[in-house]
Amino acid sequence: MKTVYLDNAATTQIDTEVIDVMLSSLKNNYGNPSSVHQFGRKAKSAVETARKNIAKNFNVSSTEIIFTAGGTEADNLILHNAVYNLGVKRIITSKIEHHAVLHTCIHLKKTKNILVDYVDVDEFGSINTEHLKELLAGTTTKTLVSLMLINNEIGNFLDVEKVTTICKNNKALFHSDTVQAVAHYPIDLKKTPIDFMVASAHKFHGPKGVGFAYFKKGYGILPMFHGGEQEKGARSSTENVHAILGMEKALEIAISNLDKDREYIENLKKYFISELHKISVDIEFNGLSPNLDKSSYTILNVRFPFTNALFLFSLDLVGIAVSGGSACQSGANKVSHVLSEILNDKDADKTSVRFSFSKYTTKKEIDFVISYLKKS
C-alpha cells in the first residue's frame, strides 16, 4: 500500500546523515560526560562543541543553551524557573498555546498561586496586541508573557517584534515556544530580544527525546530535577550524548538548506491549496494557514464542509497520515482547544485536518491525497 506522511508538525523523518552521526557516537563515544577519564572527557568535549555550534545559529553564547529531553521539558523548565527563581507572580499567555505551556501555567496557578491572564485572540487565531498592552499597562507585578512564535495547529505567526517591544516597554519577561519555528525560519536573538525560547530536534529531522532551552544571559536557573550537577546545575541527568550530536547535525543541515527547502515546501503548500479549491469552493481553512505571509509554510489546517467522525481513520486506511482535532473526529483523542477557541460551534463541529509538509514531501504524494479527497 502506498503511504503518504503529512504529519510533519507532529514529528519528522530523521535525516540519514543524522542517523550516521548518532550511530558513530553510540559505537565510539560511549563515555559518561561527567567522568574525568579520557572516555568521559571525549564525550564532554563533543557535547560542548555541539552546544557552541547550536548557539551560533541563534547568535547567542553557548552558556545560554541548556539541553533538555525536548520542547515540553524546556517550556516547563523556563516557566518553573520564572516563578521559583526569578520572582514572577503573573503569567500572561493565550488559550491557543501548546499544552506544554497551558497546563504548566494551570499547575503553577494551583501550586504557587500565580495569577494567569489570557490575551484575546481573534477568529483567525491572531494575538490581540492592544489587549496585551492593556494587560501589562500600569502593573507592578513581575510578569512573564508566554506566546508561541508559530502555532502548532494553525501555523499562525506571532508578531514577535511588536510583542517584544510591548514586553520591554512594560518591563515584562518574554518566553516563546519556538518549536515549530526553529530550523524553519532564521532566528537571531540579538535582533529579536526573546528572553527564553525552546526547540525540539524531532521537528527538524533530528531524533526524538532531545531539545534545548535558551535562557538569556543574566537569568539564573534553578533545576526542576535534582541528583546531579549536569548542564551547569540546571538539569540533573546524564547528557543524552548521541541525541545531542544528532540534533546538532540536524540543525546544521536544516540551516544550510533553509532557503532551498522553504521554497520547495512553500510551492507544495501553494499547489495543495489550489487543488483543494478545485475540489470544492466550500472547503475552508482555519486560522491564517492559507496565507503564506502570515503562517508557516509547513502547516495547512483545512476545514471540510462535512462532519465525519471517522475521516482520519479513512485517510489512514488508504495510507495517508495526518492530524485532526475538530469536535466530530474520533480519530482525535480530544477536541482541538485551538479550533474550539477560534471557531463558532457550527464550524468547530466540521471535520478539520492539519496537513503538514517537509522537504521529503513530494508533488506525487499531494496528488495522491487530492485524488482520494475528490472521492470522499
Active-site residue set = 328
Return d(Cα 142, Cα 27) in angstroms, integer. Answer: 48
Count Cα atoms within 13 angstroms, Cβ side, for 276. Answer: 21
Return d(Cα 78, Cα 105) in angstroms, integer. Answer: 11
Q: Are strands 173-176 and 143-146 parallel, antiparallel or unpaired?
A: parallel
Place of cell 502548532: 152
Long-range CB contacts for residues 287-291, cutoff 8 Å, separation at least 24: 287/124, 287/125, 287/151, 287/153, 287/154, 287/155, 287/156, 287/338, 287/342, 288/124, 288/125, 288/126, 288/154, 288/155, 288/156, 288/157, 289/154, 289/155, 289/156
Task: Sort 298 into a burial class: Cβ within 10 Å, 0-12 / 13-18 / 19+.
Answer: buried
Instruction: Report whether 353 contacts 323 (CB < 8 A).
Output: yes
The CB density around residue 109, as the number of other CB atoms within 10 Å, is: 13
Comparing CA positions, the residue from 50, 65, 26, 33 lying closest to residue 250 is: 50
Return d(Cα 126, Cα 6) in angstroms, integer. Answer: 24
Instruction: Report whether 75 contacts 98 (CB < 8 A).
Output: yes
Return d(Cα 158, Cα 147) in angstroms, integer. Answer: 8
- DSSP per-residue codes, 124-189: T--B-HHHHHHHHTT--S-EEEE--SB-TTT-BBP-HHHHHHHHHHTT-EEEE--TTTBTTB---T
Q: E strands within the chain?
A: 4-5, 65-68, 90-93, 115-118, 143-146, 173-176, 196-200, 211-215, 284-285, 299-303, 320-321, 323-324, 352-356
